[in-house]
Amino acid sequence: MRVLRYYYYRLYSYFSNGDAIPFFSTFLVIMVFACFNLVTLIDIVFSLIFRYTVVLPVFGGYGQLWYLLIIIPAYMLYRYYLKDLENHSKIIEEFKIETKRQRLISSIWVIMYFVGSIGLFILTLWLREKIRGY
């Protein structure tokens, strides 16, 4: 989990340099990549293993409503874990005094997470098209 804590630290540090709401901006970026990962896992399990097409629900014409049903509780958990349990300050203090070598290695892991998440998502879509034809 050190990689994820460092990922949070790097994003928060980046958004702290001029963003009015760095805590929420960090949440949005983390949420986008969490959604990439979640959709990829769901697609792999249902489409490639069970041969079942996953279709996102539409509520009375409001197709984007399911985003709010996911994001609002996720933000509440995120805020509770980081702010209310005071893990935010612990994460910031943990990485504040890192050496250049530690920073380089951790940066490589964060970049691999970004590229790996997007790459696996695209690979899953490509495999889905090749195997199932949709």
**What pLDDT is attached to residue 31?**
86
**What pLDDT is attached to residue 101?**
93
Q: Which residues neighbour 78 within 8 Å (Cβ) at sequence distance 6 or greater?
A: 27, 30
Question: Per-block average pLDDT, block size 10, for the chain (134 residues)?
Answer: 84 82 87 81 78 66 69 87 88 88 88 86 78 63
Query: What burial class does residue 6 get, using C-beta atoms within 10 Å of its C-beta: 0-12 exposed, 13-18 middle, 19+ buried?
Result: buried
DSSP-based helix, strand, coil % in the chain, nearest 5:
80, 0, 20
- What is the spatial distance between Cα 131 and Cα 98, in angstroms, rounded to a whole number? 46
**What pLDDT is attached to residue 58?**
62
CB 37 within 8 A of CB 117: yes
Shortest CA distance to 127 belongs to which of 7, 3, 40?
A: 40
Give the up-direction half-sphere exposure of residue 82: CA atoms within 13 A in the CB hemisphere: 18
CB 21 within 8 A of CB 27: no
**What pLDDT is attached to residue 2?**
79
pTM above 0.85, yes or no: no
